[in-house]
Structure 1
Amino acid sequence: MLITIDDLLARDEIATVRQLLDRTGWASGSLTAGTQAAVVKNNEQVPEGAPLLPELRQRVLAALNRQPLFFSAALPAKILPPFFNRYSGDSNRYGQHIDNAMRAMPDGSGYVRADLSATLFLSEPDEYEGGELVIEDTFGRHSVKLPAGSLVLYPSSSVHEVTPVTRGARIACFMFIQSMVRDAEQRRLLFDLDMELLTLRQQLGETASMVKLTGIYHNLLRRWGNA
């Protein structure tokens, strides 16, 4: 399941994040790549320990926390603290790869199982050429290049890549999520049910049938949740 969320960050929030990133140094993105990914990863990343990284992370996590569509689609149990990367110049691509299943918390407190990956775009599409996020799943190949402030959520198990940036700079935030519902098909069914419940509630209000259907949603989540 591939979900896009528009305007996760407001315009003033994007400007603030970009200003913070302008004051932050960049290091090789290979520092957080697994064995396979390191061979094809050629970008830059804000290094762990950068003074402004905690504030940048807090701003993104706060935006996720206020977005109900993100919660419905991801059903997050844990979110690995977000990372920030840049593609430009000679550091301009990330070849085909699959994200590691288990990601270590930066503070050494444990691991997050990567059920879902997310990219939050921080550059406008006209600021750079190339740089599409290409995701392969059972329904084919999807090329994603969203406005600044918008996010795409997709299975970490999918093969994906970032095509070469041939002009300008592509700046983004990326993160990994462990879901309360590990099974992707169960998670999709819950999301579809939740979206239909929202539509019916707006059309019909809180009828007796709506109460029962909502109960079915929560009982399925209770049965399938493993957080």
Structure 2
Amino acid sequence: MLITIDNVLTPEELSTARELLARSNWSSGQITAGLQAARAKNNEQLAENAEHLPDLRRLVLQALNRNATFFTAALPLKILPPFFNRYSGDSNYYGFHTDNAMRQMPDGSGYVRADVSATLFFSEPDEYEGGLLTIEDTFGKHGLKLKAGSMVVYPSTSIHEVAPVTAGERVACFMFMQSMVRDPGQRRMLYDMDMALLDLREAHGDSDPVVRLTGCYHNLLRRWADS
């Protein structure tokens, strides 16, 4: 399930984040690459000791916590602290790869199983050339270049790439989540039900059928979710 969400960040949050990122010092993106991914990865990333990383992470997590569409799409149990990367100059691509299944917490306190991945864009599409995020799923390849402040959410099992940035710079946040519902087919079914229920409630209010279908949604979530 691949879902795009517009305006995850408010204009004020986006402005603040872009200002902090512009003042940041960048390191090699190899610091979070697995063995297979490292051979395909050539970008830059904020290191764990980067000055503005805590403020940037706090800003992104606050935005995610208030976004209902993100919650129903990912059903997050654990969110690895967000990372930030940049593609420009000679560090400008990340070839096709699959995200590692298990991601270690930055402080070494444990692991997060990567069920769901997400990319939150900080650069506007006209600020760089190339840099298309391509994600493969059962329906083929999908190329994305979203406006700043918007996000794409997709299964961590997907093969994906960032094409070379040939001009300008592409700055983004990437995230990994362990979902309460491990099975991607079950997550998709729950997402579709929740979106349909929103439409039904808008059209018919809390009628008896809507209430009963809402109960079915929550009973399925109870059956499938871990906490």
- TM norm structure 2: 0.99
Match of 1:74 in 2: 74
Distance in 2 of aligned mates of 1:163 and 1:51: 28
Matched position secondary structure for 1:55? helix
Match of 2:151 in 1: 151
1:51 is displaced (CA, Å) by 2.1
Distance in 2 of aligned mates of 1:71 and 1:14: 20
Distance in 1 of aligned mates of 2:224 and 2:139: 25
- TM norm structure 1: 0.99
Match of 1:184 in 2: 184
Match of 1:27 in 2: 27
1:54 is displaced (CA, Å) by 0.7
Ranges in structure 2 where 5+ consecutive residues have no aligned partner: none
Q: Show CA shifts across 1:26-63 (max 9, x none).
A: 00000110000001100000001212111100000000
Match of 1:219 in 2: 219
Match of 1:86 in 2: 86
1:14 is displaced (CA, Å) by 1.0
Match of 1:210 in 2: 210
Distance in 2 of aligned mates of 1:142 and 1:108: 34
Q: Show CA shifts across 1:97-152 (max 9, x none).
A: 00000000011111110001000000000000000100011000000000000000
Match of 2:137 in 1: 137
- Runs of 4+ aligned residues of structure 1 deviating over 6 Å after TM superposition are none
Ranges in structure 1 where 5+ consecutive residues have no aligned partner: none
Matched position secondary structure for 1:84? strand
Match of 2:43 in 1: 43
State the superposition RMSD in angstroms.
Answer: 0.6
Q: Sequence identity of aligned pairs in percent?
A: 68
Q: Show CA shifts across 1:5-38 (max 9, x none).
A: 0010122211110111122110000011000000
Distance in 2 of aligned mates of 1:222 and 1:64: 22
Distance in 2 of aligned mates of 1:87 and 1:11: 23
Distance in 1 of aligned mates of 2:6 and 2:53: 24
